[in-house]
Structures are given as structure tokens and as C-alpha cells.
């Protein structure tokens, strides 16, 4: 028997109970500026140190948080699932990675990586990033940026994502408000065979597009759903 194919999308809500604030929870503000204005190539070009500071703070915060029961439940499901499985996250934190998820795509990039604008090299990066730090590969200064997809930039691995969405039998969206595209449009890109399920604390912008939507905290809903589907 061929096991159904599962595609899961997560957003900031799955990391909320680990202590990482969501985007729109605190009004989506940082230093009284809208995140959408800080997380852009224009903001980085205009004031790179300010944008580096935004990401240095969030990268440092990763040392104080750990995966929660929802992250662990998804990693367990991946290990046990016999069919095709893909976890797509909008999150730039490393909590899914630390929970053990393998078939994982960070479509908006990763806090713990830096990219060189000159040579394109992508480096693991745990400390602070600034304009003075030379690229470890080409040694160019003022060429490193966070390996993050900013607003107005193309998310990563979109072709692989779109194929997985088209082929999947089950699409589950967890902890996202459905504000940010193209991720918010994924529920409309699945094939006719797919069942769609939303697990979220509040109604999202796209709740009405799902066959089924459950309200609650990720650490309650996700382990219960994994238990249900693994049976």
C-alpha cells in the first residue's frame, strides 16, 4: 500500500511556545518600525548596521530557546511515516532542525547562515554579523548579509515546493496567519486529491480555504494530530 504524501507548512506560531515572538503578535514591530520595513533589501542598503542588529538579536536569542512538543511531534512523524513527507517552514529559527526534522525546507532562509553578496558562498553563522567581517571564502569585506529571504525577494526552493504541493494527498498548515505570500497561497496550489488542514491558535487570513481548521495551541494540536494520523 502506498502511504499518502504529506506536505506541512509552519509559521511563527509553532515557535511561539518556545519563547520566540511571532511577527504580528507584538504588532509586527521592531524598534517601532514595521518588520516589513526592516526585512527588506532597501532597508539593508540604507542602513546595514540596523538590519544586522535586528538579526544579531534574533540569532543570539536562539541560544535561549529550545524546540517544543510540536517540533518534536513533527520530527517523530517524519521518522515513522512510510510515504513521501516534506516540512516547509517560513521560520528562520533552527527549532525544527534541532528537533531532528530532516526533510525540511527553510523557504525564508535561516538566521544561522550568512551569504556573501560577492561570491555567493553561504556560511553557517552563529555569532554577530556586521559589515566589517570579511567573507570566509573570498575575504571581501562589507559583502556578508543574513541568509534570509526579505520582502520583495524570491523564497527559496519554490520549484521543489510547488511540485510537492501538486502531488501531495495531505497539506497541513501550522501556526501561520496567512498574511505572507507565496506561502499563504500554498493551500490553493495543492492538487484536487489533497485534503487540507489548518492547525492554528486563531483564525488566519486563509482559514476559509481549508477543508478543516482546528483552533488551539501547537503543543496541544500537533502531537494530538500526529497521534491520530500515525494510528
- Which of 30/85 has CB closer to ligand BV8? 30
In angstroms, give the least distance from the CB of 25 to ligand BV8: 6
- Residue 210 CA to residue 187 CA, distance in Å, equals 7
Does residue 177 touch ligand BV8 according to CB under 6 A? yes
- Looking only at residues 29 through 58 of this chain, which bind ligand BV8 when binding is defined by CB under 6 A? 36, 39
**Mask of contacts with ligand BV8, 119-148, x by CB under 6 A?**
-----------------------------x
How many chain residues are in contact with ligand BV8, going by CB under 6 A?
Answer: 36
- Which of 129/201 has CB closer to ligand BV8? 201
From the list 12, 5, 2, 40, the residue with the least C-alpha distance to 183 is: 12
Please report where in the chains the cell 501547537 appears, as a residue: 218
Task: Classify residue 76 by burial, with Cβ atoms within 10 Å: 0-12, 13-18, 19+.
Answer: middle
Among 6, 8, 16, 74, binds ligand BV8 (CB under 6 A): 16
**Mask of contacts with ligand BV8, 81-120, x by CB under 6 A?**
---------xxx---------------x------------
In angstroms, give the least distance from the CB of 48 to ligand BV8: 15
Q: Which of 108, 123, 147, 195 is catalytic?
A: 108
Alpha-carbon Rg for the chain in angstroms: 18
Does residue 181 touch ligand BV8 according to CB under 6 A? yes
Among 20, 23, 71, 147, binds ligand BV8 (CB under 6 A): 23
Among 218, 223, 225, 226, binds ligand BV8 (CB under 6 A): 218
In angstroms, give the least distance from the CB of 209 to ligand BV8: 14
Among 19, 25, 120, 185, binds ligand BV8 (CB under 6 A): 25
CB 108, CB 147: distance < 8 Å: no
52 in catalytic set: no
- Residue 7 CA to residue 164 CA, distance in Å, equals 7
- Residue 116 CA to residue 118 CA, distance in Å, equals 5
What values do phi and psi take at 119, rounded to 5?
-105, -5
**Residues lying near ligand BV8 in the complex (CB under 6 A):** 11-13, 16-17, 22-25, 36, 39, 90-92, 108, 148-155, 175-177, 179-182, 200-202, 204, 217-218
Amino acid at each position: 500500500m502506498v502511504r499518502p504524501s504529506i506536505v506541512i507548512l509552519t509559521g511563527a506560531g509553532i515557535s511561539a511556545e518556545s519563547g520566540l515572538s511571532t511577527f504580528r503578535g507584538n504588532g509586527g514591530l521592531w524598534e517601532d518600525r514595521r518588520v516589513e520595513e526592516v526585512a527588506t533589501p532597501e532597508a539593508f542598503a540604507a542602513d546595514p548596521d540596523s538590519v544586522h542588529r535586528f538579526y544579531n538579536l534574533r540569532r543570539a536569542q536562539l541560544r535561549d530557546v529550545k524546540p517544543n512538543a510540536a517540533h518534536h511531534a513533527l520530527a517523530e512523524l517524519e521518522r515513522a511515516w512510510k510515504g513521501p513527507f516534506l516540512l516547509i517552514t517560513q521560520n528562520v529559527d533552527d527549532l525544527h532542525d534541532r528537533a531532528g526534522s530532516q526533510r525540511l525546507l527553510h523557504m525564508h532562509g535561516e538566521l544561522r547562515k550568512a551569504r556573501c553578496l560577492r561570491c555567493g558562498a553561504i556560511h553557517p553563522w552563529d555569532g554577530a554579523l556586521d559589515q566589517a567581517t570579511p567573507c570566509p571564502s573570498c575575504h571581501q569585506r562589507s559583502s556578508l548579509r543574513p541568509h534570509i529571504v526579505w520582502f520583495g525577494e524570491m523564497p527559496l526552493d519554490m520549484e521543489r515546493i510547488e511540485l510537492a504541493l501538486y502531488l501531495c494527498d495531505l497539506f497541513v498548515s501550522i501556526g501561520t496567519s496567512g498574511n505572507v505570500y507565496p506561502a499563504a497561497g500554498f493551500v490553493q496550489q495543492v492538487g484536487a486529491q489533497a485534503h487540507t488542514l489548518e492547525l492554528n491558535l486563531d483564525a488566519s487570513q486563509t482559514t476559509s480555504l481549508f477543508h478543516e481548521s482546528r483552533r488551539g495551541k501547537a503543543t496541544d494540536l500537533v502531537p494530538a494530530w500526529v497521534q491520530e494520523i500515525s494510528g
